[in-house]
Amino acid sequence: MQDLVVPLNHVLFVSTLLFTIGMLGLMIRRNIIFILMSLEVMLNASALAFIAAGAHWGQPDGQVIFLLILSVAAAEVAVGLGLVLQIQKRFNSLDMDDANRMRG
């Protein structure tokens, strides 16, 4: 177990910051592209935390999970962009609130 160049706390702080930025993006933006981007940011934030933790304890699990997240993110973007295209076609807009058919 060796010390990192950058202390763990700092990495985690950055990760939290990124996560918060992504979350705020989700809460504030209406444009569906931005929402997708915010999601990616959040995923990356958690991936960063995994990497840092894995490095800190010298365990490979962190990197494994990072790879998993990476692939999930790729798949998600693929599906998400497909949905974006569909929404653009149907509603002629990229505004999320135009598609709120599920209102109770």
User: Where does this chain bind another protein (CB under 8 A)?
Assistant: 23, 26-30, 35, 96-97, 100-104
8 vs 96, beta carbon nearer another protein: 96
- Which residues, including other chains, have CB under 8 Å from residue 45's CB and lie 6 or more apart? 15, 16, 17, 18, 19, 22
For residue 7, the minimal CB distance to another protein (Å) is 24
For residue 49, the minimal CB distance to another protein (Å) is 16
For residue 25, the minimal CB distance to another protein (Å) is 9
26 vs 73, beta carbon nearer another protein: 26
Cα–Cα dist 18/20, whole Å:
5
Residues in the chain: 104
